[in-house]
């Protein structure tokens, strides 16, 4: 198990609570979520519907004001008062890909125009539409086409290209492969992987499809009932040390280490690693 240093993270969430009020009833969508994501990392937020993953993404994207907790993204602290403060750094530090592809694009523009236009002048100069369209893999023949004339996958790739056009530090993608199938899904995941590889973009994607998470070779964070239940990558589970020194465990580890279990922590073979073992009656080994 590896414990990350939160100060070096691109995204840092600590004790995030999000409460909605529906018909006078308070409902907790997120209950004390803590998370760090390093620069260049790909994170897949997975979980069942209503688990809170889209809410988490919305908070990270600065679209929803958190009820409580601390969120820092790309060096910007999100206070609980002003989510609009992030508007000025969108495009450079933060990009959001919404689930409905049409909400990411301007319908009356062509594929290329959707990349080139709609940016403030401070960002417009740095945009190389062909380069980013190459990265996401859109055929040059499709680039002058109106948006309505291209396939759903191409529209999604255009949306990804548009969000990445200004080379943002973090890409927050909500269900980037929804309503796509087979080869289309692969095209999208390949595009995200290439962007991550070539641009170094940190990606946090919400998906309900584990295959997508796997295809992205992502660190998988499972969210259920508003809590992070598992944070794993290639058999390694990451845990966050809370301010009070406690370490919340995901469900699968809790099953192995039920409450009251005594554990021993010993230095691992590599520097900065530790091995956690259940303590035996003989004492730590």
Partner 1 sequence: MTRLATIARRHRFGHAVLFAVTVCLLVGTASVDPLLTRSFRNALITFHAEQQGVSGSQVQFESGGTSPLSIAQLEKAVDPRVRAVTAAPIESRTVVVSSLKTVQPVRIQSTQDACAHVHLVSGRCPTARNEVMVAQAAVRGNGSKILHLGAQLPVTGSTLWAGDPRLNPRKTMRLVGIFTVSDDNPFWGGTGVGDYAPPTATSTSPTEYWLTPASTFAGKVPTAPQSQTKDAPPGVSWLGITSTVSYPVLPTRLNPQTLPAAVAGVNATTAKLGQQVTVFESLSRIQELTHTDVRQAGQILPFLLVQLGVVLLILLVQVTSYFGTARRGEAAVLKMRGNGTRGVVRFGAEEFLPSYVVGVVCGLGLAYVVDELVRRLWLPGDVDAAWNWTACCAALAMATLVLVVWLVCWTAMARQSISALLRVRPPRTRGARLSMPLAVLGTLCLIGVILTATKNLTGAPVQVTPVLLAGLVALVVGALLTPVAAWLVRRLLARRRAAGALAVAQLGRRAGVVTAVATLVITSALFTLSISQFARGGENRAARTAADLGAPAVINLGTGFDTVSGQALEQAVNSVDPHHRDFSPAVGIASATSESNAILGVVPSDLQRMGLRTGLAQPIPWSALRGGGSTDEPTALAATWTLPANTGSVIQAPTMMDVDGPYRVVGTAPYIPGAGARTLVVNLATMLASGNRRDNVTYQVFSATQNPHRIAQLEDATRKAGFASATVQTETKTRASYDATATAWAMNLSIVVSILSVFAALTSVVLVAVASRRDRQSDLRALRTGGVPRRVARAATVGEFALLTLLGTVIGTATAPLAALLTGPTMLWWSTPPAEPLTRTGFMWPVGVVAAAVLIVLLLVVATVFGLRLARAADKGEGRTA
Q: How far apart are CA 124 and CA 104, in angstroms?
A: 17
Q: How far apart are CA 184 and CA 193, in angstroms?
A: 14
User: 52-91 mask for partner 1 (x: CB under 8 A)?
Assistant: ------x---xxx------------------xx--xxxxx
Question: Which residue, among 90, 108, 88, has the nearest Cα to 98 in the 3D structure?
Answer: 90
Which residue do the tokens 């994607």 mark?
A: 205
Would you give the DSSP letter of residue 278?
E
Answer positive or negative: Cα dihedral of 222, 225, 228, 230.
negative
Which residue do the tokens 């964070």 mark?
A: 221
CB of 236 to partner 1, least distance (A): 33
Residues in contact with partner 1, counted by CB under 8 A, come to a total of 33
Q: Among residues 31 and 92, whose Cβ is nearest to partner 1?
A: 92
Q: Which of residues 143-162 bind partner 1 (CB under 8 A)?
A: 162
Q: Which of residues 157-216 bind partner 1 (CB under 8 A)?
A: 162-163, 166
Question: Which residue, among 57, 74, 63, has the nearest Cα to 208 in the 3D structure?
Answer: 57
CB of 21 to partner 1, least distance (A): 14
Q: Among residues 174 and 231, whose Cβ is nearest to partner 1?
A: 174
20 binds partner 1 (CB under 8 A): no
| Residues contributing to the site for partner 1 (CB under 8 A) | 58, 62-64, 83-84, 87-92, 95-96, 98, 102-106, 108-109, 113, 117-123, 162-163, 166
């Amino acid at each position: 198990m590896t414990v990350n240093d939160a100060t070096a993270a691109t995204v840092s969430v600590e004790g995030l609570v999000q409460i909605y009020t529906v018909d006078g009833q308070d409902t907790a969508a997120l209950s004390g979520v803590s998370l760090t994501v390093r620069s260049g990392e790909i994170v897949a937020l997975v979980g069942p519907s209503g688990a809170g993953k889209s809410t988490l993404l919305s908070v990270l994207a600065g679209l929803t004001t958190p009820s409580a907790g601390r969120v820092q993204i790309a060096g910007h602290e999100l206070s609980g008062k002003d989510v609009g403060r992030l508007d000025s750094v969108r495009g450079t530090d933060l990009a959001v890909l919404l689930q409905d592809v049409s909400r990411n694009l301007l319908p009356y523009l062509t594929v290329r125009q959707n990349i080139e236009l709609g940016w403030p002048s401070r960002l417009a100069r740095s945009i190389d539409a062909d380069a980013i369209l190459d990265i996401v893999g859109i055929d040059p023949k499709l680039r002058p086409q109106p948006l309505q004339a291209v396939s759903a996958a191409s529209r999604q790739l255009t949306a990804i290209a548009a969000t990445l056009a200004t080379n943002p530090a973090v890409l927050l993608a909500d269900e980037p492969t929804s309503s796509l199938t087979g080869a289309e899904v692969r095209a999208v995941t390949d595009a995200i992987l290439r962007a991550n590889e070539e641009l170094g973009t940190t990606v946090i994607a919400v998906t309900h499809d584990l295959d997508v998470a796997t295809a992205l070779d992502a660190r998988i964070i499972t969210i259920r009932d508003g809590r992070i239940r598992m944070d794993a990558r290639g058999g390694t589970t990451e845990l966050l040390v809370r301010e009070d020194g406690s370490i919340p465990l995901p469900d699968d580890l809790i099953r192995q280490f039920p409450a009251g279990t005594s554990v021993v922590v010993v230095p691992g073979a590599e520097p900065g690693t530790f091995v956690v073992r259940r303590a035996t009656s003989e004492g730590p080994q």
